[in-house]
Amino acid sequence: MLDPKPFATLLLIGIAAMASAPSHANEPLPQLIGKPRPATAPHRPIEISPQLAARVGHQVWLNETGGNHDAITAWNASEDFASLGIGHFIWFSEGLKSRFQESFPQMLSFLRARGAKPPAWLDKSPVPSSPWHTKRQFQRAFNSARMKGLRRFLHQTKGLQAQFLALRMNEALPKLLASLPSARQRTHVRRQFERVTAASKDLYPLIDYINFKGEGISPKETFPNRKTGRPEGWGLKSVLLAMNGTSKEPRAVLAEFADAARFALLRRIANNPRDKRWQKGWMARVETYRHPLR
């Protein structure tokens, strides 16, 4: 039986906190440059219920898999690791070195700490390395009893996995503020972040976008503008910097967030034209941010 108590509240961490958080499988590992900025007042607690987390988890799963039941366990093209769960959390085989940050062990530990019971071969501390070293090995095992059991477990814990993603969202703002060079920018980003959290009871737009494209705090998470050469990003920081509204009306705020996400992603495509192959899917995904989850 899963313990429901820890589900109810996730606290936004104070601005001074600089705890690490997992990155999305397809984005570079963020690196903070320089020393943290001076601390400011912490945020009020933000609550997300288990029922809401289940809906968020289901939508994130749809975004990542297109609704393909079996795609909750995947091995993406041109990658050297498995991607598992609603957020396609990365899991390395023993000895693998990568520029990406492994996140499946942290996610699984989070689930176990909250009462989830994984298959016996995974119910260990520390979490073992992935048993699949190559995509061919993974594909051969795809219909094995072990893999089917893993998929059942991952589908049964979508809501808890969403809570793990929500924790990353809660930890994002201190990192965003620490990466900005001016007080004006820090004030602007904090104000826009708070507008979105106030407008979105399910917190889905922030939870999904951070999982989708990261915080955007690393210089690696940029492409040079093809005309000016200026580095331009596409992570959450860039989205919030592109927002300029003041309205507190939820529909207006969510529409503005979706428009800013669309702007950041289209700018990425303009700066890196080979990404145009993803444009249709990316635009469909950001459109889901305009309305609360049903």
DSSP for 172-211? HHHHHHHT-SSHHHHHHHHHHHHHHHHH-TT-HHHHHHHH
The CA distance from 201 to 223, in Å, is 33
Give the residue among 280, 200, 275, 291 at the shortest CA–CA distance from 27: 275
**Is pLDDT of 27 > 90?**
no
Task: Name residue, tokens 């495509």.
Answer: 269
pLDDT band at 46 (very low <50, low <70, confident <90, very high): low
Question: Per-residue pLDDT tens for 124-174?
Answer: 999 999 999 999 999 999 999 999 999 999 999 999 999 999 988 888 999
What sign for the dihedral angle of Cα 20, 163, 150, 281?
A: negative
pLDDT attached to residue 47: 60
Question: Per-residue pLDDT tens for 84-111?
Answer: 999 999 999 999 988 778 999 999 999 9
Question: Per-residue pLDDT tens for 271-292?
Answer: 999 999 999 999 999 999 999 9
Q: Do 12 and 46 contact (CB within 8 A), yes or no? A: yes
Give the residue among 181, 196, 191 at the shortest CA–CA distance from 257: 196
Strands laid side by side in the 89-91 sheet: 73-74, 82-84, 89-91
Structure tokens at 250: 């939820």
116 Cα distance to chain centroid: 21
